[in-house]
Amino acid sequence: MKTYEVVKGCTGLDGLRRTERAQPKPGPYEVLIRVHAASLNYRDHMVVIGRYFTAVDRDTIPLSDGAGEVVSVGDRVTRFKAGDRVAGTFFQVWKDGPRSGWSPALGVPLDGMLAEFVALHEDGVVPIPRHLSFEEAAALPCAGVTAWNALMVAGGAIQPGDTVLCLGTGGVSIFGVQFAKAAGARVIVISSSDAKLQRAARLGASDGINYQTTPEWEKEVVKLTGGRGVDAVIEIGGGGTLARSFQSVGFGGKVCLIGFLAGAGDTSPQSLMMKGASLQGIGVGSTRMFEEMNRAIEVNGIKPAIDRVYPFEQAPDAFRHLESRDFVGKIVISI
Ligand SMILES: NC(=O)c1ccc[n+]([C@@H]2O[C@H](COP(=O)([O-])OP(=O)(O)OC[C@H]3O[C@@H](n4cnc5c(N)ncnc54)[C@H](OP(=O)(O)O)[C@@H]3O)[C@@H](O)[C@H]2O)c1
């Protein structure tokens, strides 16, 4: 089967190699999936440049996210049959309930989805929403479930009438916009670009702030909420933005810590104390969360925002596009 590998010790895109591997066979409890599309997350770029903790220590198939069709099932599989349209879950496997230990993720340390076929445990596979194409469904496993966990699970679900603040316009944040909007919340987005803010508005954001031209964006957030502050923050900046997120969150609100794109820092959480606000660490989500999210996506007719779909042969260009930051939502590769 055709696939790509990030070669052992890889520190740049020249180490992303197109190659062939033997087609996997499904063992007990496993389903064999013909993958039709895979999507990129920020993490996948870090893996290729050798900065996701460290460079990969073996040739590894990249990408945690993909969707396709079940072609056959192994012994004792009860949840799926040939022909089912499915996606793999990020963790293999965090099935349900609070996370109680480390489970390995697709794309590193496990082989990922940028391949024609994968064999996955049935508990690490979910049916995809009927109205989505494989390209759209491939956007869901990491970015979608992370935003869902942040807004609807961790620290309690947001409520209609709440205000959500999303930092940036990448995969996680745009799902945050769409889920918050569907839940009846108001959404404020901050971005480096006015053009991106306009696209976020078309996807459901009611207010946009350019953080390049308004570096003290937290003051604008407080103003936009009449001094109240927001109920939830999709925090992808980390140390470099946390202090402003702490100022932006209102009484009883939550700051969902997801990424560290704006670098490290030594922010004091003191301002959360008197507001009774909380800081929630988010680690993608469980198979159960993915299933519940898909139900909401189907009922609300939500379509993931795909910036561009690349053919398999141009996978390196998809990584270059991610690196450029010149996109909104998700970048997808069809297989
Ligand atoms: N904890 C978890 O479970 C989890 C799950 C998924 C992702 N993450 C993390 O969350 C973050 C976002 O992931 P993603 O896949 O949504 O990213 P992405 O699709 O690559 O989007 C990144 C966006 O963030 C904004 N940004 C702000 N500062 C940035 C910087 N210094 N470098 C790059 N982008 C910056 C940019 O939007 P604007 O130009 O509009 O500002 C950019 O387009 C990453 O740190 C990722 O590792 C964590």
pLDDT digits (tens, 9 = 90+) for 133-172: 999 999 999 999 999 999 999 999 999 999 999 999 999 9
In this prediction, residue 92 carries a pLDDT of 98
In this prediction, residue 189 carries a pLDDT of 98
Give the pair of three-digit tokens for residue 22: 């033997």
Question: Distance between alpha carbon 30 and the CA centroid of its chain, in Å?
Answer: 24
Query: Was domain 2-142+285-334 assigned CATH 3.90.180.10?
Result: yes
Q: Any idea which residue has 């004091």 for tokens? A: 268
Burial of 148 per CB tally in 10 Å (0-12, 13-18, 19+): buried
72 C-beta closer than 6 A to ligand 1: no
In this prediction, residue 183 carries a pLDDT of 98
- Written as tens digits, the pLDDT of the chain (335 aa) is 999 999 999 999 999 999 999 999 999 999 999 999 999 999 999 999 999 999 999 999 999 999 999 999 999 999 999 999 999 999 999 999 998 889 999 999 999 999 999 999 999 999 999 999 999 999 999 999 999 999 999 999 999 999 999 999 999 999 999 999 999 999 999 999 999 999 999 999 999 999 999 999 999 999 999 999 999 999 999 999 999 999 999 999 999 999 999 987 888 899 999 999 999 999 999 999 999 999 999 999 999 999 999 999 999 999 999 999 999 999 999 99
In this prediction, residue 263 carries a pLDDT of 87
Q: State in Å: Cα 82 to ligand 1 middle.
A: 36
Q: Where in the chain is the domain with CATH 3.40.50.720?
A: 155-281
Topology annotation, domain 155-281: Rossmann fold (3.40.50)
- What count of other Cβ atoms lies within 10 Å of the Cβ of residue 127? 16
41 C-beta closer than 6 A to ligand 1: yes
283 C-beta closer than 6 A to ligand 1: yes
196 C-beta closer than 6 A to ligand 1: yes
CB of 103 closer than 8 Å to CB of 94: yes
Q: Return the exposure string of 160-169: e unless at least 16 CB atoms fall within 10 Å of the residue's CB, then b.
A: eebbbbbbbb
Q: State in Å: Cα 57 to ligand 1 middle.
A: 25
Q: State in Å: Cα 261 to ligand 1 middle.
A: 6
In this prediction, residue 38 carries a pLDDT of 98
Give the pair of three-digit tokens for residue 88: 């793999």
Type of residue numbered 13 = L
DSSP-based three-state secondary structure for 68: strand
Type of residue numbered 222 = V
Q: Where in the chain is the domain with CATH 3.90.180.10?
A: 2-142+285-334
Q: Whose CA is nearest to atom 10 of ligand 1?
A: 259
In this prediction, residue 266 carries a pLDDT of 84
Q: Could you tell which of 46, 153, 261, 293 is best to mutate to test the pocket of ligand 1, judged by most ligand atoms within 8 Å of the CB? A: 261
Region for residue 243 given its phi and psi (left: phi exceeds 0; alpha: psi -120 to 50; beta: otherwise): alpha
Question: How far apart, in whole angstroms, are the C-alpha atoms of residue 140 and residue 212?
Answer: 29
Closest ligand 1 atom to the C-alpha of 46? 47
Q: State in Å: Cα 266 to ligand 1 middle.
A: 20
CB of 183 closer than 8 Å to CB of 191: no
Q: Whose CA is nearest to atom 11 of ligand 1?
A: 259
Q: Any idea which residue has 């398999």 for tokens? A: 312
Q: State in Å: Cα 168 to ligand 1 middle.
A: 7
169 C-beta closer than 6 A to ligand 1: yes
In this prediction, residue 252 carries a pLDDT of 98
Q: Whose CA is nearest to atom 9 of ligand 1?
A: 259
Averaged pLDDT score across all residues of the chain: 97
Q: Whose CA is nearest to atom 36 of ligand 1?
A: 168
172 C-beta closer than 6 A to ligand 1: yes
Q: What DSSP letter does each residue of 78-91 carry, written as one string?
A: -S--TT-EEEE-SB
Question: How far apart, in whole angstroms, are the C-alpha atoms of residue 35 and residue 44?
Answer: 18
The pTM score is 0.98
Axis crossing angle, helix 171-182 with helix 287-299, rounded to the nearest 10: 60
Closest ligand 1 atom to the C-alpha of 329? 19
